[in-house]
Amino acid sequence: MQLGQFVSQDWAIGPAEVLVRRIDIEEIAPESSITISPAHGSALTAAENEVWQSLAPGSSRQHEWLLGRLALKDVVRAWAAERGHLLEPSDVEIHLGAEGAPFARCVALSGVGGSPVISLSHNSGIVVAAAAEPGSLIGIDIEYADRRTQVVERALTPMETNFVTAEAASVLDLLVAKEAATKALGVGLGGAVSRWPVASVTALAEGLLVEVYSASDPSLVLPVLVLHPLDTVLGICYVAPDIDAA
């Protein structure tokens, strides 16, 4: 890979305020994880290279981790490019918060409003990364539509079961919405499906609007756009910056 290239593709999907990019894993790494590792190393910072080397060589986790970093760097670079700032992948540092939420740090953006907020999700074939303006909340989740959901189904609230019975949403739609909402708050679902109840499901032309109550603050309702591109279910939670808090 030459510096400056994007590994991911733009994915024009979801709210206009959110930039989404995707990597189709088969397209860039059809053989195995090992084929992509040396070629993409130059995209990483020294600290990221250390993490990369600490992961089991050739493991699926190492592969997934690298693709996630590349997708996140790409989405930050694309977001910056839209604002006239051209960045190399190694200009963008990806860090994790205390609970595992990724965030970007980029010196070149610090004097011009800061780095965008970011979110990441991967399944076995696709990596998706999202970015939105600093101060907003963003959470993204993608699953294959045939993912098994029996365990999740047993954890649904009576209202959620009603949504499923009435075919307003599938169990997977609700799970994806919860994952995206919890990621937007930087906490992650961690299997606590019932602690994040769905408040409402509304059919839209392009998919569903699923509102999820925050587990820690029931007065906070997180809107998640749930879409069904091809054989996947994609959830994007976006909350604009609170201008009163600025």
Ligand X SMILES: CC(C)(COP(=O)(O)OP(=O)(O)OC[C@H]1O[C@@H](n2cnc3c(N)ncnc32)[C@H](O)[C@@H]1OP(=O)(O)O)[C@@H](O)C(=O)NCCC(=O)NCCS
Binding residues for ligand X, per CB under 6 A? 64-65, 68, 99-102, 120-122, 141, 179, 183, 186-191
* Closer of 70 and 106 to ligand X (Cβ): 70
* Closer of 148 and 205 to ligand X (Cβ): 148
**How many other C-beta atoms lie within 10 A of the C-beta of residue 73?**
30
We find the least distance from the C-beta atom of residue 29 to ligand X, in angstroms, to be 15
* Closer of 49 and 85 to ligand X (Cβ): 49
Residue 243 neighbours by CB under 8 Å, 6+ apart: none
We find the least distance from the C-beta atom of residue 48 to ligand X, in angstroms, to be 11
Q: 106, 80 in Cβ contact below 8 A?
A: yes
* Closer of 57 and 100 to ligand X (Cβ): 100
We find the least distance from the C-beta atom of residue 65 to ligand X, in angstroms, to be 5
We find the least distance from the C-beta atom of residue 84 to ligand X, in angstroms, to be 27
We find the least distance from the C-beta atom of residue 97 to ligand X, in angstroms, to be 7
* Closer of 26 and 83 to ligand X (Cβ): 26
Determine the straight-line distance between the first and last CA of the chain, rounded to whole angstroms: 40
Residue 208 neighbours by CB under 8 Å, 6+ apart: 168, 169, 173, 177, 201, 202, 225, 226, 227
